[in-house]
């Protein structure tokens, strides 16, 4: 087995990147990400991409500054399935936390589905602590192309930043 070390960088996600991000979700999801990029241009959110030297995103995620006063809320965090458990999610979250601090905010928050213990374990390892539960829902596109409403319960987590 050979070991390959690849340098990764974090930058703003662009509209041109979306064609490379089908691994992150359906066309409906990518349409939502495109709408969030409009909000990013207005400064309401940051939307980040983690990229190898090719410049093609292998992880993406957003920070919304309008969800909870005094906090940056991380959402739509995704790492290419073939590259999970390689530290890329940690890199993405740490970059997001630096963006939050750069806006003079001292708290990061996120929600994680209660049926996603793997993601919750990552967030806990990075210092996030659950403090509540809330219902959440969003539209999902099935393999048949039909859009349905997905409903779930999430644990709300936060971390103080310094």
* pLDDT recorded at residue 103: 97
Bridge-based pairing of strands 107-113 and 72-79 is parallel
User: Given this structure, which CATH class describes domain 9-160?
Assistant: alpha beta
* pLDDT recorded at residue 37: 98
The conformation of residue 139, written as its DSSP 8-state character, comes to: E
* pLDDT recorded at residue 24: 96
* pLDDT recorded at residue 82: 96
Q: Determine phi and psi for 104, rounding to 5 degrees.
A: 60, 30
Q: Give the predicted TM-score (pTM) of the model.
A: 0.94
Distance of alpha carbon 17 from alpha carbon 55, whole angstroms: 9
* pLDDT recorded at residue 28: 93
Q: Is 23 left (phi over 0), alpha (psi -120 to 50) or beta?
A: alpha
* pLDDT recorded at residue 132: 97
β-sheet bridge partners, residue 112: 155
Alpha helices for the chain (secondary structure H): 27-41, 88-102, 117-125
Q: Give average pLDDT by consecutive 10-residue segment, the chain, 162 residues.
A: 94 98 95 97 97 98 96 97 96 98 98 96 97 95 93 98 92
């Amino acid at each position: 087995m050979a070991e390959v070390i690849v340098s990764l960088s974090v930058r703003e996600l662009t509209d041109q990147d979306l064609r490379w991000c089908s691994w992150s979700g359906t066309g409906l999801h990518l349409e939502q990400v495109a709408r969030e990029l409009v909000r990013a241009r207005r400064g309401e959110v940051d939307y980040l991409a983690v990229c190898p030297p090719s410049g093609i995103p292998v992880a993406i995620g957003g920070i919304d500054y309008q969800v909870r006063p005094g906090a940056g809320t991380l959402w739509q965090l995704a790492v290419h399935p073939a590259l999970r458990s390689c530290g890329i999610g940690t890199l993405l979250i740490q970059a997001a936390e630096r963006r939050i601090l750069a806006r003079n905010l001292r708290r990061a928050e996120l929600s994680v589905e209660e049926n996603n213990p793997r993601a919750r374990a990552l967030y806990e390892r990075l210092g996030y602590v659950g403090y509540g539960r809330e219902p959440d829902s969003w539209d999902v596109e099935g393999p048949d192309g039909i859009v349905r409403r997905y409903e779930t319960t999430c644990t709300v987590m936060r971390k103080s930043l310094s």
